[in-house]
Structure formats: C-alpha cells, structure tokens
Amino acid sequence: MLFYVLISSLSAAFAKDENVLMTEVFEIVVNPPMFNWTYEGKPDQFVYQPSLLNAPDLPSWINYIFSREHHCGFLFGVPPNENNAKIQLEVIALNRKNYETRHEHINIHVSEKLNPAKYQVHIKIDNLDVDNMFEVERMESLKDIFRKVLWKDSQSDLYVTFLSSAITLGARKPLNPSEGEGVVLRLGSQAPFSSELTELQEEVRPLWKTYPCPRDFKRTKVERLFRNSGFHMDWCSFRLVDDNNSLHQAGTNEKLLNSVENDYEDKWETVMKSEVPQRSYLHEFLFTILVPMFVMILLALVLSIILCFHHEGISKRLEDAPSTEINQYATIHRATQSLRSLSNNREMTLSPDPMLLSRSHTNSPQSTINRGVHCRPNPPPYVRPKFKPDL
C-alpha cells in the first residue's frame, strides 16, 4: 500500500501540464508516446481509460473519444467559469499485446480568456465526425470560409466555442455506416455579424421548422464554398447567436450545452421516480362502475312501471266490459257446450256395442248359413248358366 502511494506521488509530481482557456474548446491527445510506447500498426493494440484522479469518471464538461482513423484518443471540452482552477486527470493505458498496464497524470489549468466571444455561429456538418475536426488543416479551412468570405471582421479572434457529436446531442445515426455521424460546433468572435451571415440566416430561416433535416435537403448560395472544402452542411441547424438573445452567456457552458440539446427535440431523457406524476383513477372508477349501474337500475324501474300499468289496464278493461256482452258470451258458450254434448251422444248411439257385434257376427253351431252384419243370410253365390251348344 505504501509503495502504491509512493508511486502515485511520483507520478503526480511528473504529471503533464495543460493550460486551457474558458469559453474555448481544448483538446488533449492520448497516444502511445505519452506512455513511452511505440505504435506497431495495430489499431486495437492500446486501450485508454481516462478519469479524474481518485475518481471513476471524467467531469461532465470533459469528453473522451478514441479515433480508429488516427489511432489515438482525444480529451476535449469547454472549461467552466472557474478561473485558476486545477483539474487532475489520470489516464490508464493497457497494451493488449502483453497486457502491460501504465498510467499517466494530466494537470489541467483553467485560465480566463481575455476577449471572450460575444457573437457565435452555430453550424452542423453531416459528413464528418468529431475526431475529424481535430485535424488542423480541416479546421483551418473551415475557419477560412468565415474569416475570408462570410465574416471578415472575425479574422483576428475567431475560435471554436463549442464542439460535440450530433449523436451525443440526440441525432440519429446515418443509415450508411460509412458516412459520418455528424458534428455540431460553434465559432465565436467579438466582431458583430456581417451582412452576409444575416442574409444567409434569413435564407435558411424557413427550414427551422423542419426536423430532422434530410441530408442534401437544401442548397444555399454559399453551398459551393463549403462543398469545395469537403463540408456537407445541415442548413436546418444554422443559427446566429449573440449575447442579447444568446444561448451562450459568458462562462455558462452548461446553458450552452442545454440550448444545443434543445435543437434536437427527439432526444429521450430519463426522469427521476419522484418526478413521475401521480394519477387518480377516481373518475375512471365512477365512469366505468357507477354509470352502468345507474343506467341498469333506471331501466329496471322503467320496465317495472310499464308492466304494472299494463296489468292494471287489462283488469280495468275487464271490469268496464258491459254485462250484456258477458251474458252473450256465456249464452254462446252454453250453446256450444250443448251442441258438443249432443254430437257426442249421437255418435255413441250409432256405433254398436263391441260386445254385441262380436256376438252377432259369431255363427251359431247349429246354423250352416252364413250371416252378415245385419243377421240376414247371405245370398247364394252366382253361377253362370250353362247353355247348350244347339241352342
């Protein structure tokens, strides 16, 4: 334990110092020579893990990316409004070839910028990544477009006040993996906006309602200036920002970051459990339970009343019927019953008793004459007369 503390103290004593200015983007390159290693041509040979000293992560205003194109890492960001602040970082490096681990300390000294920018140009480039903007030639070519053509008064003090990946701010990744993810940056100066910049903003103002803006959606009159230098601009995100309507106040980098994130409305942000609104289900309960019960009870009452009045109406009609009609109905009923009884008696007299029939139809043992139903002898059988041939 004592040995580890001693090594850490010696490393901190020989730490690398970096001076940065407030409101200006800084960059620190993390590469193998920082750890006395030699790059051997393998892009994934070295892995870097930066963090605050004795802390698990970096502060919110410092970002880290690893560039496979440049085979190194970049620490970048905009310092907060803390003059003479000292930030101690620790970078741990791993060599995957032999699994050797080394670490290096970096001391960041924050100083106040003498002439901070009062006017800024907010732009978005679709075809590049953040690490591409750390190339000196590419960044200078972008600044030259403003210093020589669009914003000539900013030639002496134009610098980058904000830099971030469009994906980090909530934009979507391109469908083609070979295309750049997009980068959002701001260029600031103390010089007021030129007429060229004002006219350009008025030209693209109708596009502010369009989000997300498709790539190559709109070409402006200055498109060729950026295309010739390899910049594919997203004109839906073009803005001019000053201190009066500013999204960026002097030294409030967090406000700047929040304002840029607001341009990407589709970014989803987590909420705390305590911020989740509480919902009452009383109205839903009353509507789904009590209202159907009330309607059912009302229908039952209506049906009961209808049935009661209908029964009373039948009874009342029977009571109000005249006595003559009742007597007429009774007479007709009695006559019908009398006719029905006479008809039944007649049928009984005409039909003989089955017992008598069985007796009358039975032949007497002394009689050899066949008798019919009416006790008469049957006629003799018919015999065809025989005629002689001579007749």
The string of pLDDT tens digits covering residues 70-82 is 889 999 999 988 8
Question: 17 in a domain, yes or no?
Answer: yes
Same domain membership, residue 69 and residue 131: no
Q: How confident is the model at residue 135 (pLDDT cuts 50, 70, 90)?
A: very high
Same domain membership, residue 251 and residue 135: yes
Question: 357 in a domain, yes or no?
Answer: no
Domain final residue, candidates 70, 90, 111: 111
Same domain membership, residue 253 and residue 128: yes
Same domain membership, residue 93 and residue 22: yes
Distances (CA, A) of 347 to 335, 336, 353: 19, 17, 12
Question: 132 in a domain, yes or no?
Answer: yes
Whole-number Å distance between alpha carbons of 43 and 35: 16
Tell me the mean pLDDT in the region 262-271: 54
Q: Tell me, yes or no, if the pTM score tops 0.85.
A: no
Query: Domain of 64?
Result: 10-111
Specify the CATH number for the domain of residue 44. Answer: 2.60.40.10
Same domain membership, residue 45 and residue 106: yes
Is there a contact between 131 and 69 (Cβ–Cβ < 8 Å)?
yes
For residue 4, the model assigns a pLDDT of 45
Residue 84's contacts (CB-CB under 8 Å, 6 or more residues apart) are: 109, 110, 111
Same domain membership, residue 123 and residue 254: yes
Domain final residue, candidates 262, 295, 315: 262
- With a cut of 80, say whether residue 16 has pLDDT above it: yes
pLDDT tens-digit profile of 362-374? 444 555 555 555 5
Q: How confident is the model at residue 316 (pLDDT cuts 50, 70, 90)?
A: low
- With a cut of 90, say whether residue 226 has pLDDT above it: yes
Domain final residue, candidates 233, 262, 291: 262
For residue 215, the model assigns a pLDDT of 72
- With a cut of 60, say whether residue 257 has pLDDT above it: no
Same domain membership, residue 142 and residue 103: no
- With a cut of 60, say whether residue 149 has pLDDT above it: yes
Same domain membership, residue 101 and residue 226: no
C-alpha triplet 134, 108, 259: angle, nearest 5°: 60
Same domain membership, residue 124 and residue 252: yes
Across 298-310, b (16+ Cβ under 10 Å) vs e yields eeeeeeeeeeeee
Q: How many domains does the chain have?
A: 2
Tokens of 323: 């006595």
Residue given tokens 């109000």 in the structure block: 320
For residue 248, the model assigns a pLDDT of 40
Tokens of 208: 């502010």
Question: 369 in a domain, yes or no?
Answer: no
Chain-centroid distance of CA 329 in Å reads 80
Same domain membership, residue 175 and residue 135: yes
Same domain membership, residue 107 and residue 18: yes
Question: 236 in a domain, yes or no?
Answer: yes
Tell me the mean pLDDT in the region 23-41: 92
Report the relative pairing of strands 26-30 and 72-77 from DSSP bridges: antiparallel
Question: 371 in a domain, yes or no?
Answer: no
